[in-house]
Structure 1
Amino acid sequence: MNSSSQQPTDAHFATTTSWFRAAAPYIHAHSGATFVIAFDGETVAADNFDHLIHDLAILNSLDIRLVLVFGARPQIEAKCEKLGVAVKYHQGLRITDDASLQIARAVVGDLRIAIESKLSFGLPHTPMADSRIRCVSGNLVTARPAGIIDGIDLGHTGEVRRIDAEGIQQQLTSGNLVLLPPLGYSLTGEIFNLSAESIATAVATRLQADKLIFIGQSNESLPREITIQQTKDYDHPSLNAAVTACKAGVSRVHLLDRSVDGALLQELFSRDGVGTLISATSFETTRQANIEDVGGILELLQPLEQSGVLVKRSRELLEREIDHFTVMERDGTVVACAALYPYPENNAAELACMAISSDYRHQGRGKQLLNILEKQAIAAGWGTLYVLTTQTAHWFLEHGFQASAISDLPMQKQALYNYQRNSIVFRKQLL
């Protein structure tokens, strides 16, 4: 065990340190937040389910309030098949007769105990050491029968009628994790088979949870982020539930692939994550910069200034000129910026300080930002847009600019031209 090859390397420590520093803003932001996390029966049966339990324990230790909802469809189907009980569905809903309800009760009960057991694990030298998670369940979901659809009686299949939000909040406030099975209870004492998705959506809506997270089927066919208006263009079993939650006030819904080990932590503690984010509004916004953006803009500009692409600007100058800037913001971080400096007497403006974070280049943001600033210039009545560059001439040529002369610049700009930089002048007619 003393072999140097088995000891952590400096690179390993550097990577770990960098990850923690990058995750720190999200650790602070999520503290005290309420997350509803639903995972299907396939996730429970997966080989890496223990890893998910470990990750949930980490969230719990970071003072994140957790409501877990689990599914059991494949386990119930397997038990029905073993006992010779027919499995029937109508419009995606299980037809739950007396025999299959008894099987569902037994299967769900066994799964709940198994999950509670895993959450109780705490041996030393394991990811669960000293976790001490208090897990509670109970009659927190009131259900009603789904009834007869298209002449088909769904039997003991139900719908969510009410969520005991006060009871759940009391448990969360006490530091307990709430575990909800895919069952509900009626006012007459009946038991109904419910979908985990419907329970999770109802709980997240009722609690106005900070996040609703579905862990299940692969989301490879989905983009990284979509708004609820865009979901109609895609097909995924959890999209309808996500849209319902967003419309009801849940700000962000995440879809994660159960096969991606560590997807939950990567999604929550990195800027881009590994899943699909559904929100009522765009995850990334473009807006007028304000004084609080100066630090973020400086971070974008400094590497380009050091390489000679841009002229160095001090914080004081940026603060004075912040009204000229437009920024792209992604999850609270400035990822792109550009500025327009007007020359009204020439019916023109200069495009300057265009910078894209190195993590987000080659994804069309430069073109998008240019289009936005061109629209701003046109709205202000400026017919010509100038830009001075030393290293990005081809990009501007590709986007409609034409080579121009220093003498074509507004006189005020000519007086400030830096001949040592020898920047190339480009011009684009907008009007």
Structure 2
Amino acid sequence: MASLGTTESVVSPPSRTVLPRSYLCWLAGTRVSLVGDAALYFALGWAASAHGGQMAALVLTAITLPRTVLLLLGGAVGDRFGARRVMITGDVVMLAAVLALAVAARIWGTPSWMLLGFAAVVGTVDAFYLPATGAMPRRLVSKEQLPRAMALQQAGGQVASLLGAPLGAVLVAVAGLSGTALVDAGSFAAVLAVMLWVRPAAEAERSPRMESLLAGIADGVKTAATDPVLRTALLLTAAAAAGLLPAVALLGPLLARSNGWGPGSAGLVAAGQGAGILLAALLAARLGPMRRIGMGTSLGLALAAVGLAGLAAAPATAAAIAAAVVVGAGSGMFACHMGPLVLAGAPGTHLSRVQSLLTLVQSLALVVANNVLGWLADAAGARSAIALCAVLGCVAGVTGLASPSLRGLRQATS
């Protein structure tokens, strides 16, 4: 495959052969774990809310802060010691942590110190686990199968997120935080068993042993910053995180309140976005991405921007739901093209580091955007804030289409 730094760059087309059994087992195990995690996070947030809004915010911060601070280190560790080894270690730590939470919640209830401590463990493990997870598809499938494999991964993740919160609500009502933690422990045990069984098809390329982790972090940042496609991909990912993610999750409820639609309508708008993402992922898994995979990322942003414009102007709930489906379809289209583009283009020795950068730019962009858009919604209304998201998505899409390195990126023909 040619270097991603030129307009002659290519990404292998989606293979029509059956995905490897090892990948399918890995995917099933990790999606089960995501359902358990989503249920536990709901239970954790519910328990924290009993201590007031400030404590609930602190618990969320205890997850996001260490994850953000340690992400680049987590990527360097994944490339040094191997993604599979890092995932197994993370699963063992989290299995022990959720079992300890289940016991502690049974004995002491849900004191704030316990919730904060567990949240800090989650955020710390995530910093190492997420880059390793992002790198694993490249270790388990060929580059030709990567687009289909990652689209299926996204579809499974969307299903997990849709199922997790309702499951968490049921478990909290029936068994409380302790019982929910036990269920999540079962999901960690399942994915741990899968990880112990799975073996990558090829020996993983590693970063040099003599290189310090700090030097490894710097090299990962330099690699992404100097590669035209990776650099543009990171910028577009930041724009997507800032413009697309808060539009429904943060601004959707504010729009519903301002129009007197009620919480049910806000939930349906969020569900519409989820349905659009799932539809785009399933289509990509079945049909594969566009031949011009770089153009597909930009067109996905443009489609999402059209949906956001419709959401900003929606006169009633039905129109808002339809617009949210378009937002989700565009978001899913963007992700299904951007994911394999970045993973196939990253050097084999830098997979986890590039994934850590991808996660980091999303997290930082989302933190900034949530605060800016929240302020704008208070000052000028939710519709104005959503309209700004539409403008950001449109500008990002046009920027991607104008980038020669990204626009010229094609799937391989052989």
Task: Give the TM-score category using the shorter length.
Answer: under 0.3
Asked which structure has the greater RCO (Cα within 8 Å, sep 6+), the reply is 2
Name the structure where strand makes up a greater proportion of residues: 1
Normalised to the residue count of structure 1, the TM-score between the two structures is: 0.24
Name the structure where helix makes up a greater proportion of residues: 2
